[in-house]
Amino acid sequence: MTAVTVVFAAMGLVALVSAFLVVTSDQIIHAALWLVVTLGAVAGLYVLLAAELVAWVQVLIYMGSVVVLLLFALMLTRTPTGPGSATVTRNQPLATVVAGATTVALGAVMWAGFGGEVIDEDEVRVGTAARLGDAIFRTWVLPFEVLSVVLLAALVGAIVLTRRGER
Amino acid sequence: MSAVSVQAIVGAAPSPIEAPDVDYATISPLLIILGAAVLGVLVEAFVPRAYRFVTQIAVAVVGVVAAFVATVVVGAGLDTVDGEVTGRGGPTAMGSLSVDGPAVVTWAMLLFFGLLGVLLFAERRLDGGLSAFTSQASTPPGSADERHATRLRIEHSEVFPLAMFALGGMMFFASANDLLGMFVALEVLSLPLYLMCGLARRRRLLSQEAAMKYFLLGAFSSAFFLYGIAMVYGYAGSFGLAEISTAVSSQIGGQNLLLAGMALILVGLLFKVAAVPFHAWTPDVYQGAPTPVTAFMAAGTKAAAFVAMLRIFFVAFGGARWDWAPAVWAIAIITMLFGAIASIAQTDVKRMLAYSSIAHAGFLLVGMAGLTSGDGVTSVSAVLFYLVAYGAAAIGAFAVVTLVRDAGGETTHLGRWAGLGKESPVLAVAFTIFLLSFAGIPLTGGFISKWSVFAAAWDGGAWPLVVVGVVASALALFFYIRVVVLLFFAPPQGDGPTVAVPSPLTWSVVAITVAVTIVLGVLPGPLLDLVQQAGAFVR
Amino acid sequence: MTSMSSIVLAASEHADVVPVAADGVFSWMWLLVAIPAVSAAILLIGDGAGDHGPLDRFGHLLGTAAAIASFVVGVVGFVALLGQDVAERAVTQDLWTWMQVGGFDVTMSVYYDQLSALFVLLITGVGSLIHVYSIGYMAHDPRKRRFFGFLNLFIAAMLVLVLAGDYLVLFLGWEGVGLASYLLIGFWQEKRSAAVAAKKAFIVNRVGDLGLALGIMLMFAQFGTTNIHEVGLNVTNASQSVATALGLLLLLGACGKSAQVPLQSWLLDAMEGPTPVSALIHAATMVTAGVYLVVRSAAIYDLSEVARTAVVIVGCVTLLFGAWIGCAKDDIKKALAGSTMSQIGYMMLAAGLGPAGYAFAIFHLITHGFFKANMFLGAGSVMHGMNDDVDMRHYGALRKLMPLTFITFAMGYLAIIGFPGFSGFFSKDRIIESAFATNFWAGLAALLGAGVTAFYMTRVMILTFFGERRWREDVHPHESPKIMTVPLIVLAALSVVGGALTFSDWIEDWLTPVTGSEHHELGVPAWVITLIIVAVVAVGASLAYVLFARRDVPDTAPQQVSVFTRAGRADLYGDAVNEAVFMRPGQYLTRSLVYVDGTGIDGAVTGTAELVGDGARGLRRLQTGFVRTYAAEIFGGALVLVLALLAVNLA
């Protein structure tokens, strides 16, 4: 067991525990902050898999903006943030069962699919900026450009929904 | 971070990226539409308000027509590919798109629907010189601000670029040649639609609720789709449909991953086409959305999603046909029966049309059970024909819905439609023709399309589906005829329905769709030839 | 039915007809359909603005003129066909290609042969007379224009049906007549019973149409064509079971359209429509479309004994069933409707006998068209004079006040019971003879039916025209105007002389190229059978005379009656069966779904919403309007789908 494996396992554990806390925390702000921890741990996993760029994107986009956006939304909509604010419905036991079953099912499928796979961490180079750049701007150039259209449409949509006054 | 990878980045020679190889002429229809959308955004920013609405219409119409012309040119220039099956055209833009026969036909179809949609969006004579869209989405419904905005005649002309975005997404969806592209296309087509659903001028709360529901459930189902893609990637090691097909037929192991992936991808697509049990959003959204949007959405989304579904399941998963076919059979049966029976109980015209749309998704799924190649009716050609006939009739029917009004806007309660035959015989006859086409009565497009999907399915050995299909059509026919009788023979309630006098825009939509519905029923030859010649998907 | 197996059927006899391309007069046969269709379009769509436009004033004349014009074309065509060589009497004209996919194509064509020609004459001839009659009958109806539009629509659709060269085109006509029938039964929408009857006719007919649609699908799948002629050629190479399946599916279609057991229940209720409609659609033409279908598909039935046997059984059961109902009804139109059912049973029986009976089925169909239309119009004339009362117990002694109606009705009566010399005598006689020659039990059923027919028709006659007057206070019976009696006279004349068609076996020879022919020798000379039939008829008529002419007729129907009468009054519980087998489960299903979609429904929809509680209490409401419920549905659906796919793999 190398050091990398140990760190990987630790990071994974952190991600799991914090994810669990995201859904069990009874204060919505706490849930959002636990999410930061989860996303950070996952970013760490990416680094260990030699996917630096993906890791940084994860940190910047998810931890940096998505969670911040989430918090802003909570503040702007004046959602109650005190204790108990995250307990939503009485269906929690049912949800637990469903979520548990789903986790098991998906885990089983993943296990069945990738159970014996071994990745040699010295050989993997998929996550480097060069490889990603090459993929995005050659093979996937059209989807990538069209993706910008989604953003533009979303931008227009945001304006439509929020703009006030006369123009 | 391991030291090795740092060195790898630092030490790599700055090799220049080779420019991707994109044949711009072949994908020009797509580029024109997206270009028109971007141009529309610029118009929104720079053209003064007084001219903005008209300019937007012009940009959209010119864009759609230009793209249509480009599509025809592209279609005419497709090379014939002879393989196991006959096809035309092939992958382009680094393999992201497959501009083949079915894709080009679908593009033309979507652009046709898009044009009709734009004409409906542009209608401003029905509601005192204002469009069907709310003046200012940000004002609370019923507030003084809202009234103020209405008085100032502020309008959301952004709907035109949004519609163009959605149209571009649909076109991309129908021709994408890899799963990643499909996912992107799915988002491009969905996001603008979510938005437009919430912009109704009348009954805004219903409209906003519809938009919210559609957005949440759409995002939810997209997640299934994405997860499915991830699993299939895990199985095949590629997003490309061709590579997946190779992996599937060589049985490389990890069957479970493939099956789960297929199932989840199917969920995402079945949601979009409104098949049971992923249909629940349909009645609520169709009812709440502004009717022109519903018209555009009902025809366009269904067409794009069905073609994409056929492409994925025939091209990529064709080798695993007997793994997914039973599930599709079951869903087709449930969907047909549910749609037909549930529509019997409806009292709201828009909900009724929504359930009818669900039933039609079932009939289209029957078409999917047919053969993929051969001399007779293939699944692809049958479904393409069906989509044209259904889309035209659906847009026409919703266009009629926009015209039947009372003081509160459109009146969609069926009871209020009693006596429409007296009030406006022409409109009532038009609506009757659409209903008869939905029901599959001979001499309408609906009959030929039902015939072709059933014939395809029967050829493919799916005769139980055909039997259920015929039973479901019989059930549905009863309901449609009842509505026809209501229109013409029932005594009107109170003063009866009022029919607004629309501008030539809506009239032309109704006239065109009636003409298409009848021509496809009486002289379906040319279109049948076209979809036959389109051939199979080329990967 | 063992004796039938001995028949070796020569399908080749009529399969080798080679249709010739139309020229000369025959290239105008499409006018037959086009004229009434255009007229219907003008009457139904045109001139929607005013309630008293010119079309409202003269629309009925246009409609009648269209029917007559079509008849003239039919006569011209028929005369031309007589002048053709026997080998060239099947004329086909392709109008345009309706559908072409790969090797499969459907052509919109007119297929005019000996069989179609007879039908064309019947439809347009009787149709024209009924149009004329309706001018008088509907004179005061504010929606006259629409009525004539529907009638024209019906004529056009019926002609499409009989002139079709392709089963798909036939299906188009089949749906068209169904639609016209639905619209006309429910023509008096304000009468709730009429609306309900229209709905019922529609639903029951859907069941039949299902059979036809599936039959056509099967042809397409097996032979790659739906052209009637080519199917006939191909079916000879197909397996026995395919022919049987096709035969049974087409029979289901025929049962629906022709009101044969088990799909008979709609016809009695259909009498809610205006009487000319009952005469034209529900007696003379549309209801015989099933017989036409069987005869037209002779090539299929020739190859399947099972299918033919099924047709015979359906025919026998229905002819007795209808006669039984006819005995018990006090409503004159319903008594006649029971009789229609029964007479069509005869035709079905004949058609089921194969080439030995096809020609007689058509022969009886034509004579029945004459005398039944005559009697329905006569009944209409009586109702016209009796303030639309239909209860025969309120009639009596009308022969003096309505002499023309009486005499013409009497001609029809003598024809239907098979009085020697009248048309029905010849046509029914032939059927009973052939039935005996093929199968003793079928013959016996037919013979028994003849006796019962004589019984109930005599009853109708006596209750209506003889005995004492039992009218209501405010009723002043009077003869109908000329415009109504002239068609009656013409039809009565045809009822008398219609039997001439069989002189020197003309109709048999005429139809042989289409249906083939065959003769089975009876064990006894034919005149013995004829004598027996006449004797049985005489017994039936006398029995009715004794029961009804000699005694007083109570004003209301007596309640202390035999179980047979009670059953007959209840249409032999056909509705009860339908309700238990089809309607209740259907209602539960619909109700459950109504419940499922809670947001879209209000109590007024069907009145069933409040009934939901008991039936579906345990059912969860699925269409709640809550996103979380919808999401749960999607999730559940996805889970099932994933598990199902995985299960398929693991299994």
Specify if A26 maps to a domain: yes
Residues of chain A neighbouring C642 (CB-CB closer than 8 A): 105
Q: Judge residue C425's burial from the number of C-beta atoms within 10 Å of its C-beta, 0-12 exposed, 13-18 middle, 19 or more buried.
A: buried
- For residue C120, give Cα distances in angstroms to B411, C113, C180, C510: 46, 10, 18, 15
Domain tally, chain B: 1
For the stretch C305-363, pLDDT in tens is 899 999 999 999 999 988 888 888 888 888 999 999 999 999 999 999 988 889 999 99
Nearest to A150 among B156, B188, B234 (CB): B188
Specify whether the backbone of C47 is left (phi greater than 0), alpha (psi in -120 to 50) or beta. left
> Cα B90–B94–B96 angle (5° rounding)?
70
Residues of chain C neighbouring B443 (CB-CB closer than 8 A): 172
Is residue B340 a contact partner of residue B359, using CB atoms and an 8 Å limit? Answer: yes
Domain tally, chain A: 2
Which domain covers residue B398, as residue numbers?
22-533
Say which amino acid occupies A105: A
For the stretch C11-70, pLDDT in tens is 444 446 778 877 778 888 888 889 999 998 888 876 554 456 777 778 888 999 999 999
Is residue C271 a contact partner of residue C243, using CB atoms and an 8 Å limit? Answer: no
Q: Which of residues 328-357 of B touch A (CB under 8 A)?
A: none
**CATH number of the domain to which A37 belongs:** 1.20.120.1200
Q: Is B146 on the interface with A (CB under 8 A)?
A: no
| pLDDT attached to residue B297 | 94
Residues of chain A neighbouring B235 (CB-CB closer than 8 A): 113
Highest mean pLDDT among A103-117, C255-269, C445-459: C445-459
Q: Is the pLDDT of residue C273 over 80?
A: yes
Calculate how close chain A gets to B209, using CA atoms only, in Å.
14
Q: Is B243 on the interface with A (CB under 8 A)?
A: no
Spatial distance between the Cα atoms of B360 and C625, rounded to a whole number of angstroms: 22
- How many interchain CB pairs under 8 A, A with C? 5
Specify if A31 maps to a domain: yes
Report ipTM (2 d.p.): 0.88
Grade residue C187 by pLDDT with cuts at 50, 70 and 90: confident
| pLDDT attached to residue B365 | 94
**H or E element in which residue B319 lies:** none
Residues of chain A neighbouring B234 (CB-CB closer than 8 A): 110, 113-114
Calculate how close chain C gets to A117, using CA atoms only, in Å.
22
Specify if A21 maps to a domain: yes
Calculate how close chain C gets to B43, using CA atoms only, in Å.
36
Specify if A7 maps to a domain: yes
Specify if A90 maps to a domain: no
The answer to whether the Cβ–Cβ distance between B454 and C600 falls below 8 Å is no
Question: Is the peptide bond prior to C420 cis by the omega test (within 30 degrees of 0)?
Answer: no
Specify if B4 maps to a domain: no
Spatial distance between the Cα atoms of C611 and A153, rounded to a whole number of angstroms: 48
Residues A62 and A135 reside in one and the same domain: no
Specify if B284 maps to a domain: yes
The answer to whether the Cβ–Cβ distance between A130 and B9 falls below 8 Å is yes
Decide which of A80, A114, A137 is a domain's last residue: A80
Specify if B9 maps to a domain: no
- For residue C488, give Cα distances in angstroms to B206, C132, C229, C412: 62, 10, 38, 10
Between C619 and B256, where is the model more confident? B256
Specify if B10 maps to a domain: no
Spatial distance between the Cα atoms of C573 and C561, rounded to a whole number of angstroms: 16
Smallest CA–CA distance from C169 into chain B, residue: B442
Specify if B11 maps to a domain: no
Q: Which of residues 576-635 of C touch A (CB under 8 A)?
A: 628, 635
Specify if A100 maps to a domain: no
Calculate how close chain A gets to C615, using CA atoms only, in Å.
27
The answer to whether the Cβ–Cβ distance between C642 and A98 falls below 8 Å is no
Residues A76 and A144 reside in one and the same domain: no
| pLDDT attached to residue C613 | 32
Specify if B5 maps to a domain: no
Between C440 and C47, where is the model more confident? C440
Residues A2 and A72 reside in one and the same domain: yes
Smallest CA–CA distance from B477 into chain C, residue: C206
The answer to whether the Cβ–Cβ distance between B345 and C606 falls below 8 Å is yes
Grade residue C612 by pLDDT with cuts at 50, 70 and 90: very low
Residues of chain C neighbouring A105 (CB-CB closer than 8 A): 639, 642
| pLDDT attached to residue C17 | 73
Calculate how close chain B gets to C221, using CA atoms only, in Å.
6
Residues of chain C neighbouring B520 (CB-CB closer than 8 A): none
> Cα B266–B396–C179 angle (5° rounding)?
95
Decide which of A80, A111, A142 is a domain's last residue: A80
Which domain covers residue A58, as residue numbers?
1-80
Nearest to A161 among B27, B37, B138 (CB): B138
Mean pLDDT of the region C468-473? 80
Spatial distance between the Cα atoms of C197 and C213, rounded to a whole number of angstroms: 24
Q: Is the pLDDT of residue C621 over 50?
A: no
Calculate how close chain A gets to C610, using CA atoms only, in Å.
30
Q: Is the pLDDT of residue C607 over 80?
A: no
The answer to whether the Cβ–Cβ distance between A98 and C635 falls below 8 Å is yes
Specify if B163 maps to a domain: yes
Grade residue C610 by pLDDT with cuts at 50, 70 and 90: very low
Nearest to A154 among B12, B93, B191 (CB): B191
Q: Which of residues 253-272 of B touch A (CB under 8 A)?
A: 254, 256-257, 260
Residues A68 and A132 reside in one and the same domain: no
> Cα A31–A35–A37 angle (5° rounding)?
120
Rounded to 10 degrees, what is the CA torsion of C403, C405, C409, C411? 60
Residues A132 and A70 reside in one and the same domain: no
Q: Is the pLDDT of residue C586 over 70?
A: no
Residues A8 and A67 reside in one and the same domain: yes
What are the residue ranges in chain A where pLDDT is below 50? Answer: none
Nearest to A128 among B8, B178, B184 (CB): B8
Residues A65 and A133 reside in one and the same domain: no
Residue C297 tokens read as: 């598909």
Specify if A73 maps to a domain: yes
DSSP per-residue letters across A69-112: HHHHHHHHTT---STTTT---TTHHHHHHHHHHHHHHHHHHHHH
Residues A2 and A68 reside in one and the same domain: yes
The answer to whether the Cβ–Cβ distance between C622 and B377 falls below 8 Å is no
The answer to whether the Cβ–Cβ distance between B323 and C649 falls below 8 Å is yes
Mean pLDDT of the region C123-146? 88
Calculate how close chain C gets to A108, using CA atoms only, in Å.
12
Residues of chain C neighbouring A102 (CB-CB closer than 8 A): 639
The answer to whether the Cβ–Cβ distance between C635 and A105 falls below 8 Å is no
| pLDDT attached to residue B384 | 94
Nearest to B347 among C217, C602, C649 (CB): C602
Q: Measured in whole angstroms, how far is the alpha carbon of residue C632 from the centre of its chain?
A: 51
Residue C290 tokens read as: 């099933």
Nearest to A128 among B9, B93, B191 (CB): B9
Question: What b/e readout covers C488-521, taking b as 16+ CB neighbours within 10 angstroms?
Answer: bbbbbebbbebbebbeeeebbebbbbbbbbbebe
Spatial distance between the Cα atoms of A6 and C638, rounded to a whole number of angstroms: 36
Residues of chain C neighbouring A98 (CB-CB closer than 8 A): 635
Spatial distance between the Cα atoms of C393 and C231, rounded to a whole number of angstroms: 52
- How many interchain CB pairs under 8 A, B with C? 187
Q: Measured in whole angstroms, how far is the alpha carbon of residue B439 from the centre of its chain?
A: 19
Smallest CA–CA distance from B188 into chain A, residue: A150
Q: Is C644 on the interface with A (CB under 8 A)?
A: no
Specify if B139 maps to a domain: yes
Smallest CA–CA distance from B12 into chain A, residue: A130
What are the residue ranges in chain B where pLDDT is below 50? Answer: 1-11
Residues A136 and A62 reside in one and the same domain: no
Specify if A111 maps to a domain: no
